C-alpha cells in the first residue's frame, strides 16, 4: 500500500520528467529545422585541376580525401571525404610540414630573451581565440621584378555566380636564399566587402607556379560586378617565420565584361602599397624601456574607429602582441576580448626581458583581431613598431622610446591592412 502523499510525489515527478523531455525534443527538432532551411550568406565551389569541392555549410569541419594515381596517370579517389576544405577560409591550405635540414633556422628557445606578463587590468575572463598567420612586414625592393599573374573571370547567369580561375604566375622573385627559389601561393579577396576570401595551395620550390584552381562564388548579382575589385596577394610560404609578401594585383571588375564568355587577363605583380589601404581604425600603445633591468614594458591602451565586422554593426576585438627578433617570433600574448564595441579600452601591460644589444633587431607587432565563436577570427588591422616598422609614425615612436629610457611613450597609430 502506498500513501496518497507518496503517490502524489511520484506522479508529480513523472509529470515533470515527461514535460522536460518533451520540451527538449521539441527544441532540438526546431533547431534542426532552422539549420536545414537557413541559407549561408554565400556559397562557393573550388575546383582544383578538374576535382570539384562542394562545401555545403560555412563550418570549420575539415574532411580529407586521399587521391592516388593509377599507373596510367588517372586520379582515383579513396575514402569518403572531400578534399581538405576549410569553409571559413574557403581555400586549400598547403602543408606546413617540411624536413629539417642543415639550414634550418635556430630554435626560438635558444634566443637570450624571456617574456613576463604584467597585471592585466581587464576583469573579463581571458579567451583564447587563435589569430591567423600574417605576412612579413618587409617587402621586395623596388628594383626587383615581381613577375606576372594570369587568371580568368567568367560569370554564370543561371546560377548568379562569379567564376575566377587562378591559372599561373611567371617570373616570381627568389624569396628563399638557401634554395634560390620560392614556395608561392595566392590569397584572393573580393573587395570592398571582403566576404569572399580564398587561397590556393602552396607550390614548392618554383618561380613559375601553375595553380589551375577555380573558385566559384554564388549569390553575386551581375549588376554588382561593376562595384567589385579582385585583390590577389602573392605570398611565399615560410615554415620557420611569417610568410613573405611578394606583391599584389588589384583588378577592378568595372573594366571587365564577362557577359560574353570567359575573359583571360594577365597583370603585372606590383609591390604592395600599404598606404593606399582603407582605414582600419587606430590603436594607442605605450612603450617604455628600462636599460638597467633590460626590460621592455608594452601597454595596449585602447583602440578607436574600428571597422564594423559583425552583422550587428559592432565588433568583438582583442589585440595579439607578437615580439620578433629579426624575423623569428620569440614571444606572443593577447589581451582579453571586448564585446560589442568599436572603441575598446584594454589597459593591459606585458613585460619582456630584452638585452640592450638585441634591441635594434626587435620588432613588436600588434594585431587587432575580431573574435568570432562560429567562424574563423578575422584580423582587423596591424601595427608594427621597431626594426621592421613600415610607417613614419612607427619609426618615430620607436626612436623616442630608445632615446628616452625609463619614460613611457604613448602614441596613436593608424592600423594598416595585414
Which residues on adjacent β-strands are paired with residue 403? none
Predicted pLDDT of residue 46? 56
Mean pLDDT value of segment 32-45: 56
Residues 300 and 408 in one domain: yes
Predicted pLDDT of residue 72? 45
In a domain, 33, yes or no: no
In a domain, 340, yes or no: yes
Residues 362 and 294 in one domain: yes
Residue 278 is given by DSSP the state P
Residues 307 and 395 in one domain: yes
Q: Is 359 helix (H, G, I), strand (E, B) or coil?
A: helix
Predicted pLDDT of residue 364? 94
In a domain, 184, yes or no: yes
Q: Which domain covers residue 342, as residue numbers?
A: 281-415
Residues 406 and 292 in one domain: yes
* Helix, strand, coil abundance in the chain, percent, nearest 5: 15, 40, 45
- Cβ atoms of 18 and 193 within 8 Å: the answer is no
Return the CATH number at 246. Answer: 2.60.40.150
In a domain, 372, yes or no: yes
Residues 210 and 288 in one domain: no
Q: Is 303 exposed, middle or buried (0-12, 13-18, 19+ CB in 10 A)?
A: buried
Grid cell locating 137: 612586414
Question: Of 116, 184, 112, whose CA–CA distance to 362 is shortest?
Answer: 112
Residues 299 and 367 in one domain: yes
- Cβ atoms of 382 and 416 within 8 Å: the answer is yes
pLDDT in tens, 58-106: 333 333 333 334 444 444 433 333 333 333 333 333 333 334 444 443 3
Residues 243 and 286 in one domain: no
In a domain, 351, yes or no: yes
Residues 163 and 260 in one domain: yes
Residues 288 and 403 in one domain: yes
For residue 37, name the pLDDT band (cuts at 50, 70, 90): low
In a domain, 26, yes or no: no
Residues 262 and 163 in one domain: yes
Helix (H) or strand (E) holding 297: strand 295-304
Number of domains in the chain: 2
Highest mean pLDDT among 70-74, 171-175, 234-238, 321-325: 321-325
**Close Cβ partners of 106 (under 8 Å, ≥ 6 residues apart):** 328
* Residue that terminates a domain, selected from 249, 269, 289: 269
In a domain, 251, yes or no: yes
Residue corresponding to grid cell 597583370: 267
* Residue that terminates a domain, selected from 269, 291, 308: 269
Question: In angstroms, rounded to a whole number, what is the distance separating the alpha carbons of residues 372 and 377?
Answer: 5
Look at strands 44-48 and 210-218 and give their pairing: antiparallel
Q: How many residues does the chain have?
A: 418
pLDDT in tens, 121-153: 333 333 333 333 444 444 334 445 788 999 999
Report the percent of the chain where pLDDT is more than 70. 69
Residues 349 and 395 in one domain: yes
In a domain, 138, yes or no: no
* Residue that terminates a domain, selected from 222, 237, 269: 269
Residues 152 and 230 in one domain: yes
Amino acid at each position: 500500500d502506498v500513501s496518497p502523499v507518496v503517490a502524489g510525489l511520484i506522479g508529480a515527478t513523472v509529470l515533470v520528467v515527461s514535460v522536460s523531455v518533451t520540451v527538449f525534443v521539441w527544441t532540438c527538432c526546431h533547431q534542426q529545422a532552422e539549420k536545414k532551411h537557413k541559407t549561408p550568406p554565400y556559397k562557393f565551389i573550388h575546383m582544383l585541376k578538374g576535382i570539384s569541392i562542394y562545401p555545403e555549410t560555412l563550418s570549420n569541419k575539415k574532411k580529407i580525401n586521399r587521391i592516388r594515381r593509377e599507373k596510367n596517370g588517372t586520379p582515383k579517389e579513396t575514402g569518403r571525404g572531400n578534399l581538405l576544405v576549410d569553409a571559413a577560409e574557403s581555400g586549400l591550405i598547403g602543408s606546413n610540414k617540411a624536413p629539417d635540414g642543415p639550414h634550418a633556422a635556430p630554435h626560438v628557445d635558444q634566443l637570450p630573451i624571456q617574456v613576463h606578463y604584467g597585471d592585466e587590468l581587464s576583469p573579463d575572463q581571458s579567451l583564447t581565440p587563435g589569430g591567423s598567420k600574417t605576412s612579413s612586414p618587409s617587402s621586395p625592393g623596388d628594383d626587383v621584378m615581381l613577375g606576372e599573374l594570369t587568371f580568368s573571370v567568367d560569370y554564370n547567369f543561371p546560377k548568379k555566380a562569379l567564376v575566377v580561375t587562378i591559372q599561373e604566375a611567371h617570373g616570381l622573385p627568389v624569396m628563399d636564399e638557401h634554395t634560390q627559389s620560392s614556395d608561392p601561393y595566392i590569397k584572393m579577396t573580393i573587395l570592398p566587402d571582403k566576404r569572399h576570401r580564398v587561397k590556393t595551395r602552396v607550390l614548392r620550390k618554383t618561380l613559375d607556379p601553375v595553380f589551375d584552381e577555380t573558385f566559384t562564388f554564388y549569390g553575386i548579382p551581375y549588376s554588382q560586378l561593376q562595384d567589385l575589385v579582385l585583390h590577389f596577394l602573392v605570398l611565399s610560404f615560410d615554415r620557420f617565420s611569417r610568410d613573405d609578401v611578394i606583391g599584389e594585383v588589384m583588378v577592378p571588375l568595372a573594366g571587365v565584361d564577362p557577359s560574353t564568355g570567359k575573359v583571360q587577363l594577365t597583370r603585372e605583380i606590383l609591390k604592395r602599397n600599404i598606404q593606399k589601404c582603407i582605414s582600419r581604425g587606430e590603436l594607442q600603445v605605450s612603450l617604455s624601456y628600462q636599460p638597467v633591468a633590460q626590460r621592455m614594458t608594452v601597454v595596449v591602451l585602447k583602440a578607436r574607429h574600428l571597422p564594423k565586422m559583425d552583422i550587428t554593426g559592432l565588433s568583438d576585438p582583442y589585440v595579439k602582441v607578437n615580439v620578433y627578433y629579426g624575423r623569428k617570433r620569440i614571444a606572443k600574448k593577447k589581451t582579453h576580448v571586448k564585446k560589442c564595441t568599436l572603441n575598446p579600452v584594454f589597459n593591459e601591460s606585458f613585460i619582456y626581458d630584452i638585452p640592450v644589444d638585441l634591441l635594434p633587431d626587435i620588432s613588436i607587432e600588434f594585431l587587432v583581431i575580431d573574435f568570432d565563436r562560429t567562424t574563423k577570427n578575422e584580423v582587423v588591422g596591424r601595427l608594427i613598431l621597431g626594426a621592421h616598422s613600415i610607417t613614419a609614425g612607427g619609426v618615430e615612436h620607436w626612436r623616442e622610446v630608445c632615446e628616452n629610457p625609463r619614460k613611457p611613450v604613448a602614441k596613436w597609430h593608424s592600423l594598416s591592412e595585414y
